[in-house]
Amino acid sequence: MACVVSWNCRGFHSKVCHIKDMIYEMHPVCIALQETYLKPADIAKIKRYSLVRKDNENESGRASGGVALLVSHDTPSSVVTLHTNLQAVAVRVMLSNLVTVCTLYLPPSTSVNDRDLNRLVDELPTPFIIIGDFNAKDMWENVRRACGIYPEKRISCLRKNGQEVRNISEMGDVLAEAFASICSASNCTEPFLTHKNRLERIKLRFQTTKRLSYNTDLTIFELHTALSVIKHTSPGPDEVTYSMLQHLSEHSLLNTLYMFNHIWKEHVFPDCWKHAFIISILKPGKDPQNLLNYRPIALTSCMCKLFERIVNVRLVHILEKNEYISPFQSGFRKSRSTIDNLISLETDIRVAFLKRNHLVSIFFDIYKAYDRTWRYGIMKNLYDLGFRGNLPIFVQNFLKQRILESDSGILFPTFFARKKVFLRAVF
C-alpha cells in the first residue's frame, strides 16, 4: 500500500537524519514537509527522492516557513505549477491511480483569505489530497462548541454562611437548598400566600366526556414533524438521544406512536420520564463559590421532550386560534420578535417628539421569574381557558412528582422538586 507522510520538520537541514530514518522505516511514496527554513540559494537533496519546494523569507531576509515535497524515484510523478501566494507546492503521483498531492503551510501570524484557498483548490487536478500544517489550533474547540459539547467542569468548592463546602455529597445538598430558596414561600408577600393557599384548596378536575379536537389521537405526521425540528441536545438519565429517535425505522416509529397514544389516552405518565439529571452551570464571569451564581439545567428524557413538542404544538395552536395570548406579547411566538416591540416603542417616541407630548415607558425585569412560576397557577390558567381532557391532564402529570438527581449523583430533596417549575421542558 502506498504511503504518504506529512511532517512539520522545523528546519530541513537539521532534520535530514530523521527524514532518512523515516524513509528507511516507512518507504513513503511522498513526504510533505512544512517549515523547511530554506532559502533559494540553499541546496537540499535526499538520495533516490526528487525535491519540489517553495521557500519563504521574512522581512529581515531570514528563512521562515517554507514547504517541500519529496517524491520517490520509483513512483511516476509530475510537478503541478501553482499560481498562488500561499506556501504550497503540488505534484501528481501514481498511487493506485493518478492523485495530486499538495502540501500547504499556513503561518499562525498570517490572516488567510478564503478566496486564496478556493483559488488553490481550483488549480489542483482532481482527485487531490491537501496535507500540511494549517495552524488550526482552535478548530476542534469551535466544532465542539457548535455541537454543544463543552468540557466537563467540576465544582471544587462552595461557600455557605462563610464556610467552605468541599464534600461532593454536601455540595449537592447545598446547591439544592440554594435553588429551592429562590422559590420558597419566604420570597412571597403575605397577600399572595393567602391567595395561593386559598386557591390550592380547590381541586382542578380536567376530566371530560366531550370530544375536543386537541384531545384526538396523536398522528404519525405530528411525530415526523416533531422529529424534523428537534435540536440535538443532551439526553436524560435514560441516555436515549434524539439521533437514535431520528434513525428509527417506520415500524419502530409506529410502535413509539402507539406508546405515546396509550400515555395520552390512559392519563398515565412513565416514572422514568419524571427522573431528571440536574447540571449546575456557572453563570459567565461569576464567582464560582457563590451558590446563587449557578443556574440549574435539567436533562430530561428525549422521548418525553419529543412527546412534549407534539403536545405543545397543539396547545399553542389553540391559544393562537382563540386569541388567548395578548396581542402585545412577542416573545415565544412564531413569526414575532421582541424587535417588533422595540420598533413600536421607537415609533411612539418619534410621534411624541413631533407632537411635543410626554411619553412614559416602564422597563422591569422580574427576578428569577421562571424559577418562581406558580405551577398550580399554570394549571388554573389552562382550566379557566376551558381546557379539558388529555392535553391539560398530560401537562398536570408532567409537572408533579419529579425526581431530580444532581451531577454528583445526589438526589435533590423533594421540596426542591415540589416547588420549582421543571427546567428544560418544551412547554
Q: Where are the domains of the chain?
A: 4-147, 158-412
Judged against a pLDDT cut of 60, whether residue 189 lies above it is answered with yes
Residue appearing with cell numbers 424587535: 339
> Please, which pLDDT band fits residue 154 given cuts at 50, 70 and 90?
low
Judged against a pLDDT cut of 70, whether residue 418 lies above it is answered with no
Peptide linkage before 127 cis (omega within 30 of 0): yes
Q: What pLDDT is attached to residue 152?
A: 58
Please determine, looking at this structure, whether the domain spanning 4-147 carries the CATH number 3.60.10.10: yes
List 175's β-bridge partners, or say none.
none
The grid cell for 360 is 412614559
User: What is the percent of the chain with per-residue pLDDT over 90, rounded to a whole number?
Assistant: 52
More confident residue, 152 or 138: 138
Residue appearing with cell numbers 489542483: 124
| Geometric angle at alpha carbon 171, from 167 and 172, rounded to 5° | 125
Highest mean pLDDT among 41-55, 162-176, 402-416: 41-55
| Backbone torsions φ then ψ of 99, nearest 5 degrees | -130, 140
Q: What pLDDT is attached to residue 156?
A: 67
Question: How crowded is residue 265: how many other Cβ atoms within 10 Å of its Cβ?
Answer: 14
Q: What pLDDT is attached to residue 424?
A: 42
Q: What is the mean pLDDT of residues 235-251?
A: 91
Judged against a pLDDT cut of 90, whether residue 93 lies above it is answered with yes
The grid cell for 123 is 488549480
- 265: three-class secondary structure by DSSP: helix
Q: What is the mean pLDDT of residues 149-154?
A: 61
35 CB-near residues (< 8 Å, 6+ apart): 8, 9, 10, 11, 65, 66, 105, 133
Judged against a pLDDT cut of 90, whether residue 359 lies above it is answered with yes
User: What is the percent of the chain with per-residue pLDDT over 70, rounded to a whole number?
Assistant: 90
Q: What is the mean pLDDT of residues 238-253?
A: 93
Q: What is the mean pLDDT of residues 418-427?
A: 45
pTM score, whole prediction: 0.59
> Please, which pLDDT band fits residue 358 given cuts at 50, 70 and 90?
very high
pLDDT tens per residue, range 279-315? 888 888 888 888 778 888 888 899 999 999 999 999 9
Highest mean pLDDT among 85-94, 230-239, 270-279, 409-418: 85-94
Helix locations, 76-203, DSSP H: 114-123, 139-146, 168-182, 190-200
Q: What pLDDT is attached to residue 60?
A: 80
Percentages (nearest 5) of helix, strand, coil residues in the chain? 40, 20, 45
Amino acid (one-letter) located at 352: A
What is the residue-averaged pLDDT of the chain?
86
> Please, which pLDDT band fits residue 151 given cuts at 50, 70 and 90?
low
Residue appearing with cell numbers 402529570: 397
> Please, which pLDDT band fits residue 118 given cuts at 50, 70 and 90?
very high
Judged against a pLDDT cut of 50, whether residue 14 lies above it is answered with yes
> Please, which pLDDT band fits residue 238 given cuts at 50, 70 and 90?
confident
> Please, which pLDDT band fits residue 147 given cuts at 50, 70 and 90?
low
Give burial (CB, 10 Å; 0-12/13-18/19+) of 290: middle
